[in-house]
């Protein structure tokens, strides 16, 4: 069983479109995250939810909107996609919100905006 | 703010060579330190961690020691294998505030047979 799964794995779309990426974890964790990895492999946190409550919201354009319908799911919706949004997006989860906990990462969603 | 600096890659070694990937950090408080590994086409996996000064994390033959005096957490392995080829990320999490993970820029390691 996959611990943290993301769909889709690849997403190719045009500028201006709206798209969503879904994430699910079956580990029973309370905390979930979205990260963006750019073309140089630099990884930066975007959002974090704990028990469906937003606890980390980095300086991210408000075109990005996370939604957590329950503890096991954290989706990322992106409006009006731009070329600069092309990246790999990783979902992760951990037992709790503290940084000392190990984070478990999904396989990533490669978003290409043309 | 908190930051992590890793040695520039890419690093290319022959099988059975000794590996060191340098990592230094800047943080307030008393951070926890981590090494994550990303194999091709996959997400990150925790390789090892240390939560206080002088702790040594180890896993799969890799080791790193939390050195507060030099603010370092260098990754070492005595004899690398082709299967160790991956991107390695050093990261820290502070013990205060949002306690988010801050990653270094990653070091790509290639091991040749």
Tens of pLDDT, residue by residue over A59-98, are: 788 999 999 999 999 999 999 999 999 999 999 999 988 7
A106 and B CB contact within 8 Å? yes
Q: Contacts of residue A39 in chain B, CB cutoff 8 Å? A: none
Structure tokens at A57: 């919201």
**Rounded Cα distance, A45 and A90, in Å:** 9
Q: Residues A9-47: pLDDT tens digits?
A: 999 999 999 999 999 999 999 999 999 999 888 899 999
Contact B99 A98 (CB under 8 A): yes
Structure tokens at B39: 């194999």
Element (H, E) at A77: strand A73-78
Q: Most B CBs within 10 Å: which of A43, A89, A96, as the mutation test of the B interface?
A: A43
Q: Most A CBs within 10 Å: which of B101, B106, B110, as the mutation test of the A interface?
A: B101
**Rounded Cα distance, B29 and A14, in Å:** 44
Contact A90 B95 (CB under 8 A): no
B10 and A CB contact within 8 Å? no
| Window B:18-37, CB contacts with A under 8 Å | 31-32
Structure tokens at B29: 């408080």
Structure tokens at B15: 């099988």
Contact A99 B95 (CB under 8 A): yes
Which pLDDT belongs to residue A60?
85
Gap from A102 CA to chain B (nearest CA, Å): 7
Q: Residues B49-86: pLDDT tens digits?
A: 999 999 999 999 999 999 999 999 999 999 999 999 99
């Amino acid at each position: 069983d996959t611990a943290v799964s993301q769909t889709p794995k690849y997403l190719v779309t045009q500028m201006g479109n709206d798209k969503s990426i879904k994430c699910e974890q079956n580990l029973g964790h309370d905390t979930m995250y979205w990260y963006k990895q750019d073309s140089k492999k630099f990884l930066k946190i975007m959002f974090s939810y704990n028990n469906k409550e937003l606890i980390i919201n980095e300086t991210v354009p408000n075109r990005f909107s996370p939604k957590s319908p329950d503890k096991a799911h954290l989706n990322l919706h992106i409006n009006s996609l731009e070329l600069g949004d092309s990246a790999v997006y990783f979902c992760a989860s951990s037992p709790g919100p503290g940084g000392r906990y190990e984070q478990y990462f999904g396989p990533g969603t490669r978003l290409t905006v043309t | 703010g908190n930051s992590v600096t890793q040695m520039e890659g890419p690093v290319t070694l022959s099988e059975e060579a000794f590996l060191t990937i340098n990592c230094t950090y800047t943080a307030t408080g008393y951070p926890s330190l981590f090494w994550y590994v990303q194999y091709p086409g996959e997400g990150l996996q925790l390789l090892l961690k240390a939560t206080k000064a002088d702790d040594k994390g180890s896993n799969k033959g890799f080791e790193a020691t939390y050195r507060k005096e030099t603010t370092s957490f260098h990754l070492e392995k005595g004899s690398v294998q082709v299967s160790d080829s991956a991107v390695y990320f050093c990261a820290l999490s502070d013990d205060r505030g949002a306690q988010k993970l801050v990653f270094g820029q990653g070091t790509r390691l290639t091991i040749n047979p």
